[in-house]
Amino acid sequence: MLELNAITIRQGDFALSADLNISPGHIVAVLGPSGAGKSTLLAAIAGFTPVETGHIQWQGTDLTGLPPAQRPISILFQDNNLFPHLDARSNVALGLEPSLRLSAKQWTQVDTALERVGLTGLGRRKPAALSGGQNARIALARALLRARPVMLLDEPFGALGPGLKAEMLTLVADLARETGASVLMVSHDPADAQAIADEVIWVDGGIAHSPHNTDEIFSLPPQALSAYMGT
């Protein structure tokens, strides 16, 4: 279980607090208006933004002071998830060895991961020679290979069309179910949450609220959420 124990994050005038738990294997959508602090919440969990007070814990161990690479976490950013000068295979391989010196067995793992996300035979192409959806799949293949128990998605599919985005979300849900990973995904679109999320964290007014069951929150939305959805 990922626990955020009474954390507060401060950046200049902006402050965000959260006191909530994420159950293993759950897919949780993070919804809220622009500038509410959705990405900040993810950055704090990933270790890019320090928390001012409180603790972040995973299965009882404290993560609060750890550098990003030592946390049980993979993160996909909005963009720049890939190095443009490396081919798809090398970009995925970075998830195993940052030095890119892999054993033959590890390269097989890389190819298996590429196969799993549907990129068989495209490993030698560089990101520029692939479509946006295919680039998102490369990043997912790397996350799959790293096999961290928590996956953070900071709107990595925001630039894709609606059809492609739905496809990617389904892939994320499938991968999460196969590996048992928890997923935290930031979104602007309530439809994303309804498509795959078990629970929703509503972020507004400087507070990230505890996760609510997706069906319940949309059948009886709090006022701010219904205003956000325009209903």
Partner 1 sequence: MVSRIFKITRAGLAGGLALTAILCLIAGTMLAVLARADMLRGLGPSDWSAIRFTLLQSTLSALISVCFAIPLARALSRRNFPLRGVLITLMGAPFILPVMVAVLGLLAVFGRSGIINSTLVWVGLEPVSIYGLHGVVLAHVFFNLPLATRLILQGWQEIPGERFRLAASLGFSPRNVSRLLERPMLRSVLPGAFLVVFLVCLTSFAVALTMGGGPRATTIELAIYQAVRLDFDLAKAALLALVQFGLGVSAALLAMRFALPEAGLGAGFDRPERRWEAQRPALRIIDTGLIIFGALFLLLPLSMVVLNGLPGILNLPAEVWIAALRSLAVAMVAVAITLALALSISAFSVLHRRPFAGTLGMLGIAASPLVIGTGLFIIIHPIADPGRYALVVTALVNALMALPFALRALLPALSGAEANFGRLADGLGMKGWARMRHLWLPRLRRPLGFTAGLTAALSMGDLGVVTLFAAPDQATLPLQLYRLMGAYRMEDAAAAGLLLLGLSLTLFWLFDGGGHERA
Nearer to partner 1, 101 or 105 (CB): 101
Query: By CB under 8 A, is residue 83 in contact with partner 1?
Result: yes
- Nearest CA to 28 out of 4, 10, 61, 59 is that of 4
Q: State yes or no: residue 127 binds partner 1 (CB under 8 A).
A: no
Binding test (CB under 8 A) with partner 1, winner from 12, 35, 60, 98: 98
What is the DSSP code string of 85-107?
TS-HHHHHHTTT-TT----HHHH
Distance CA 212, CA 202 (A): 8
Q: Three-state SS for 192?
A: helix
Per rule CB under 8 A, is residue 14 in the interface with partner 1? no
Binder to partner 1 among 24, 65, 68, 205 (CB under 8 A)?
Answer: 68
- For residue 72, give the amino acid letter: P
135 in contact with partner 1 (CB under 8 A): no
Least CB distance to partner 1 at residue 102 (A): 14
Residue 176 near residue 125, CB atoms below 8 Å: no
Sign of CA dihedral 121, 127, 128, 130: positive
Least distance from partner 1 to the Cβ atom of residue 183, Å = 16
Cβ proximity to partner 1: between 148 and 209 the closer is 148
The answer to the question of residue 81 lying near partner 1 (CB under 8 A) is yes
Phi and psi torsions of 36, nearest 5°: -75, -25
Of 97 and 178, the one with the shorter C-beta distance to partner 1 is 97
**Binding partner 1 by CB under 8 A: which of 12, 60, 61, 69?**
69
- 49: number of CA atoms within 13 Å, CB side? 21
Please report, as ranges, the residues that interact with partner 1 according to CB under 8 A: 46-48, 67-70, 73-75, 77-81, 83, 85-86, 94-95, 98-100, 146
